[in-house]
Structure 1
């Protein structure tokens, strides 16, 4: 009797839980071996043909000839196994430390698309979740879904108050399917990990757990709605980004009603052109918003595939589907900016230390043998070949290092890589000549030059000074890179710089600049002349005068009176 009570309680807990709990799932399926065995046999059957094909290729020395065929076969198997397997395939497509290079290209083709489930089931779910039939809740609703994915499908509807909405309905019995697959994945990870190299198997169960956490979050539509609202707040001052409103009265954990977006997929180049939109502008908006998510807000959309990004007729970029999001801690954001600074600085020792802080290398790793490898992989990113850089190239090159050095991709960064690679692929669809650094570098340079925070100003100083000496060429490069973005106006940056120099915080930099002008026992007039030639078009005398007046006015007469003697002493 006690055992029966325990089993019932375990089942109830598993059914009620909204968050991933590996231990609760393990307890539940320990008493249901027939379910585990049945699913395991199905998975085993699907993969037997794949493994036998790989073995036969190896035996006949035909791996090279058949590698594209096997990669395609793997993609089809994952698609046939259902939503969890599709999500696994998408996640693995960003894991060069876990998947061979020749499989990556095929896995990135996986899309969240499955045949829709019956409409009568979808409408029953809406009624059971919202308490009324769909025809009463909405004045209009489409007979069939307008889109179907691995986790749900979407209907177009109209509220009685007149607003056009999208009604997202979750597939039935999704949680039992996912929990069973996650249980089997975690069990397999525990068996496989000890047989893998350290950098591949050290946290295999943790990777499964991270995947499970994100998957459970994705099937909780209340969580998705909150994510959308948080994302909207972050971009509230950006007129180029649109986030749909959530209608909470018509939303539950399994049904989500949100504002209908009148737009078209970014990959529909015909409609983009017909609407008179500039594809390069859309690419810039998408990449810069992605950089803002990572480096400013720390809250990023981890699944920006073509079905989740829409171009609107008015030129705005609309994000939809906020199920897969993640949050970066402040110290992680700062370390990411550090790594960009060290990359610009070509300081590969510091960059290796950044990789340790970010979790790509363990704290016990001896970084000295790795530094030359980093220089080999990253050494030509800033230089003559910068225009040829892309994330896919760097991912491929890193995948070769994974087996020679103890690099690993932390689970959180697998989502970041997925986001960046997906955005880059989307941009290349719109513009085959697109180079992400042409947007990313100006963005980072602008952020360093404007220095909105003390941390960014500190990193700018780190870039501009090396071994105590001012690096004139780096300042020239930063300005040149920032001005590559035609919308960048140097004058507000100069105004901010003047305000900073006049502040107490800028006392150190004032002193350093005066020393820089006279170091090596000479006046650096040539360097100043080059800088002036670089910026003189942006800094017309009348504009400089007005900006100086504004800077002094904002600083205040008392502050100026107090700082001028200090400036003269510097």
Structure 2
């Protein structure tokens, strides 16, 4: 299985214009028919009456046009805030209710790829596929060794279909980009190339198996996330055999409730694991639609499709954390520079005219309207910015944005009142408070200090936000903080804390009293003593000695 190469595909189809023209005419015919149908309904005053019919027509159209367009429909099916309910109900069927290809063809592919008869490989094999997706279909089976498995078989002649569609999409992207009301320019073709790269990776089943194992390794210490095992002996470039997952789609709210599972807990697992993929591991699932995410009866969430993944460089991960910190601090100059580093702005962009616009657009995110802030809001507001300023969407971030928007859409389908900041803010706060890496400690210091002065309110806000997640335990954080204070690396923070406590020639007992009131319920005396003992034991004697002389003369007490 070769990798995506836009130049080679272009060379191939430039000498086969009849195939390109016929496919282009087919696509234009279907979309034009659909648009004219909507216009006719509007002219006759039958828009509402014919809406169910048009929704079904759209699904059939995307299904007929094939895998590339089905992928678009799958993405739209996760956006209840963008798509009408009747259209949504039809598009959801694109996730795993597509027409299967013939069983005889599927079985022939399996036997050819695995070089054995079905009866020699499996003691049981479902007569019909249990799911049919855009790129393949899945059968339930049992290996002769007794394991229950899912056998995924790729659709025949998939590569030529994808190649031709991507060639047309790339041509269309280059032609229409200058006419779009956004400053995307040539980057629109790069987005198509990124999408093409991921599609070619997705139809490479050994690559998907390696992705699954890497994903499982990242979440090996998280009992809430399940990743199926890969059976390599029964896997080739067109057949993938993996552990069968007993579960149900996250959007099946009736079964979720019948199993006694809490919807909000499942949402938290999904959003938190998504943030971990981006900000911790840098290896993220780029296609988390409901057909790929399952709830299990024991409360775990299972990922089952690892064809479309992407890897973030360490620099990108760190810059993303930086941008979150700068957003929390409302440091819009630094945030604009983050956009340059991430590629949303060209390196030679004059950021100073953009800074006031960022402040205007994002200024409310930490204010009273924070509960109403979501990716839909971000998308709408940045659309305005991209019209007036030279923002662009880097190809890699097209997948990241798609992943985040899809996860939010899935959460909204489970709970229409869901706000992503309810989960994202506690996660980021906890990451900053508990981070053991030098990079995260530097970011925490950036949050806590501004212009050389300690920001008491920011520490209070961080702790309050982190504690809004009831599973957050403050004591390990306190131990990490104390250990850092007593270390050689913590010399700067020790000095700055003493200056903060005694700033303006007075003891800041009021601020410390508020902080104590915030955390005292979590700091039980017995556990607090063990935490302090553990921190001191792990710290250097020099660090402990350097702290004691500076603290002891203050000798203040909380009331």
Q: TM-score, normalised by structure 1?
A: 0.89
Change (3 A) 1:23 1:172: same
Query: Equivalent residue for 1:416?
Result: 400
Query: Equivalent residue for 2:549?
Result: 568
Q: CA deviation at 1:231?
A: 0.2
Q: How many residue pairs align between the two structures?
A: 544
Q: CA deviation at 1:93?
A: 9.1
Change (3 A) 1:530 1:546: same
Query: Equivalent residue for 1:297?
Result: 281
Q: Deviations over 1:325-349 (max 9, x none)?
A: 1111111111111111111111112
Question: Which residue, 455, 469, 481 being the options, matches 1:471?
Answer: 455
- Contact 2:256–2:263, Cα closer than 8 Å, also in 1: yes
Flag structure 1 segments of 5+ consecutive residues without an equivalent: 1-16, 96-100
Q: CA deviation at 1:47?
A: 3.1
Q: CA deviation at 1:431?
A: 2.5
Query: Equivalent residue for 1:489?
Result: 473
Q: Does residue 312 in structure 1 map to residue 296 in structure 2?
A: yes
Q: Which moved more, 1:30-39 or 1:304-313?
A: 30-39
SS at match of 2:368: coil
Query: Equivalent residue for 1:154?
Result: 138
SS at match of 2:502: helix
Change (3 A) 1:565 1:479: closer
Change (3 A) 1:469 1:562: closer
Q: Does residue 549 in structure 1 map to residue 533 in structure 2?
A: yes
SS at match of 2:294: strand
Query: Equivalent residue for 1:80?
Result: 64
- Contact 1:71–1:102, Cα closer than 8 Å, also in 2: no
Taking the aligned partners of 1:345 and 1:325, their CA distance within structure 2 comes to 31
Structure 1 runs, 4 residues or longer, greater than 6 Å off: 53-58, 68-71, 91-95, 101-108
Q: CA deviation at 1:500?
A: 0.2
Q: Does residue 257 in structure 1 map to residue 241 in structure 2?
A: yes
Flag structure 2 segments of 5+ consecutive residues without an equivalent: 552-559
Taking the aligned partners of 1:351 and 1:540, their CA distance within structure 2 comes to 39
Query: Equivalent residue for 1:345?
Result: 329
Change (3 A) 1:367 1:106: farther
Question: Which residue, 207, 216, 219 being the options, matches 1:223?
Answer: 207
Taking the aligned partners of 1:220 and 1:147, their CA distance within structure 2 comes to 19
Taking the aligned partners of 1:255 and 1:262, their CA distance within structure 2 comes to 21
Q: CA deviation at 1:284?
A: 1.3
Query: Equivalent residue for 1:368?
Result: 352
Q: Deviations over 1:362-408 (max 9, x none)?
A: 22222223222222322111122222222222222322332222222
Query: Equivalent residue for 1:524?
Result: 508
Q: CA deviation at 1:314?
A: 1.2
Q: CA deviation at 1:542?
A: 2.2
Q: Which moved more, 1:369-378 or 1:163-172?
A: 369-378
Please report the RMSD computed on the Cα atoms of aligned residues, expressed in angstroms. Answer: 2.9
Change (3 A) 1:274 1:47: closer
Change (3 A) 1:347 1:36: same
SS at match of 1:249: helix
Query: Equivalent residue for 2:5?
Result: 21
Query: Equivalent residue for 1:236?
Result: 220
Q: Deviations over 1:71-129 (max 9, x none)?
A: 9676664343111122245568999xxxxx89999699463442111111111111111
